[in-house]
């Protein structure tokens, strides 16, 4: 597929997707979501890819859903087309996905970043859910994921006022895992993703599934899920390889499982 709104590269076992509508600060329209989903499908199916990095430009990860496209939407139209549901593809990727956020991550841009497994933020990053200023509220998980990530008080304030959060505040409250100087963000994200992609693919995917399960279930059920998956890992060649490598004082050579 020839992409017009994203750039796609592979770096070893890492798949890199860059949102690329610079004239609109990567505002998320139908085309960019369609292309993003197509690229995710390809990386997901590719056994040689162990981790995906999603990034934008230096100025904007994404400044939100495309307001110019949305302004004439109608309720029956959004209902029949099931507007937003296609955005969820990212949250269903089973391989690890790292968001590298520089500049604005607003509205749907912030929501897209939160669908990734963790966020590395440039010191220039600004997060916000400013939809209320447009007469709507977040619609791609903002009221739900942001609340789980930063707690009710911060999420309420951000969603009700549209205030932006800078990188330092985002790190303090746990929205992002780390802050990196803007000029080094992509290199660092590729490095971290390379580390992840160098592990067992199956174990990385199972780890992601287990951490995500903690959002969906009780502690007791989550612990039970974790234990069953952990026990199943003793059936993997990668468990034998990882533990043998430790004992033999060498680097492990992991595969897909
Ligand atoms: C369409 C957008 C856009 C957006 C920016 N642009 N954000 N176009 N949709 N979300 C366009 C501008 O219209 C402009 O194009 C160009 O990008 C540069 O933007 P400027 O405003 O000139 O840049 P700047 O002054 O630096 O301000 C940056 C900004 C501002 C603070 C990020 O652009 C802004 O407030 N954008 C909207 C942010 C927002 O409200 N996001 C939430 C969207 S709603 P032209 O051609 O005019 O020069 C949403 C709903 C999600 O995300 C629900 C689930 C999908």
What is the spatial distance between Cα 130 and Cα 137, in angstroms, rounded to a whole number? Answer: 8
ipTM score here? 0.98
Q: What is the pLDDT of residue 237?
A: 97
What is the spatial distance between Cα 100 and Cα 80, in angstroms, rounded to a whole number? Answer: 33
Strand extents, DSSP E, 36-166: 51-55, 60-62, 97-101, 104-106, 118-122, 126-128, 165-166
> What confidence tens digit (pLDDT) does each residue in 179-211 have?
999 999 999 999 999 999 999 999 999 999 999
Q: For residue 71, count other CB atoms closer than 10 A to its CB.
A: 8
> What confidence tens digit (pLDDT) does each residue in 155-183 have?
999 999 999 999 999 999 999 999 999 99
Atom number, ligand 1, closest to the C-alpha of residue 87: 55
> What confidence tens digit (pLDDT) does each residue in 108-156 have?
999 999 999 999 999 999 999 999 999 999 999 999 999 999 999 999 9
How far, in Å, is the centroid of ligand 1 from the Cα of 139? Answer: 16
**Helix/strand/coil for 251:** coil
Q: What is the pLDDT of residue 120?
A: 98
How far, in Å, is the centroid of ligand 1 from the Cα of 20? Answer: 14
Strands 51-55 and 97-101: parallel
114 lines ligand 1 (CB under 6 A): no
What is the spatial distance between Cα 96 and Cα 153, in angstroms, rounded to a whole number? Answer: 29
Q: What is the pLDDT of residue 196?
A: 98
Q: 142-150 and 152-161 helices cross at what angle (nearest 10)?
A: 140
Shortest CA distance to 140 belongs to which of 244, 44, 28, 248?
28
104 lines ligand 1 (CB under 6 A): yes
Task: State whether the Cα torsion 211-145-61-35 is positive or negative.
Answer: positive
The active-site residue out of 56, 108, 109, 204 is 108
pLDDT band for 16, please (50, 70, 90 cuts). Answer: very high
CA distances from 154 to 33, 41, 101, 132 (A): 28, 34, 20, 15
Report pTM: 0.97
The active-site residue out of 60, 65, 99, 105 is 65
- Active-site residue 62, yes or no? no
Give every CB contact of residue 2 below 8 A, 6+ residues apart in sequence. none
pLDDT band for 257, please (50, 70, 90 cuts). Answer: confident
Q: What is the pLDDT of residue 219?
A: 97
CB–CB of 115/146 below 8 Å? no
Q: What is the pLDDT of residue 256?
A: 77
Q: For residue 202, count other CB atoms closer than 10 A to its CB.
A: 19
> What confidence tens digit (pLDDT) does each residue in 209-222 have?
999 999 999 999 99
134 lines ligand 1 (CB under 6 A): yes
Question: To the nearest whole number, what is the mean pLDDT of the chain?
Answer: 97
CB–CB of 117/136 below 8 Å? no
């Amino acid at each position: 597929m020839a992409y017009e709104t994203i750039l796609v590269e592979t770096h070893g076992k890492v798949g890199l997707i860059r949102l690329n509508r610079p004239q609109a600060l990567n505002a998320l329209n139908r085309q960019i979501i369609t292309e993003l989903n197509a690229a995710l499908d390809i990386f997901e199916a590719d056994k040689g890819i162990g981790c995906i990095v999603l990034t934008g430009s230096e100025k904007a990860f994404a400044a939100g859903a495309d307001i110019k496209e949305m302004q004439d939407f109608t309720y029956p139209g959004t209902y029949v087309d099931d507007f937003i549901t296609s955005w969820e593809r990212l949250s269903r990727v089973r391989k690890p996905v790292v968001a590298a956020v520089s500049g604005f991550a607003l509205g749907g841009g912030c929501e897209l970043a939160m669908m990734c497994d963790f966020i590395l933020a440039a010191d220039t990053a600004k997060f916000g859910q400013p939809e209320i200023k447009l007469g709507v509220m977040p619609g791609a998980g903002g009221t739900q994921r942001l609340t789980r990530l930063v707690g009710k008080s911060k999420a309420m304030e951000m969603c009700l006022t549209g205030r932006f959060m800078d990188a330092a505040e985002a790190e303090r409250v746990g929205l992002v895992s780390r802050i990196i100087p803007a000029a080094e963000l992509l290199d660092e994200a590729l490095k971290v993703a390379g580390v992840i992609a160098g592990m067992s693919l199956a174990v990385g995917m199972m780890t992601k599934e287990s951490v995500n399960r903690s959002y969906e279930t009780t502690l007791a059920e989550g612990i039970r899920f974790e234990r069953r998956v952990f026990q199943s890992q003793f059936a993997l060649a990668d468990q034998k390889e990882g533990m043998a490598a430790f004992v033999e004082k060498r680097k492990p050579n992991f595969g897909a499982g």
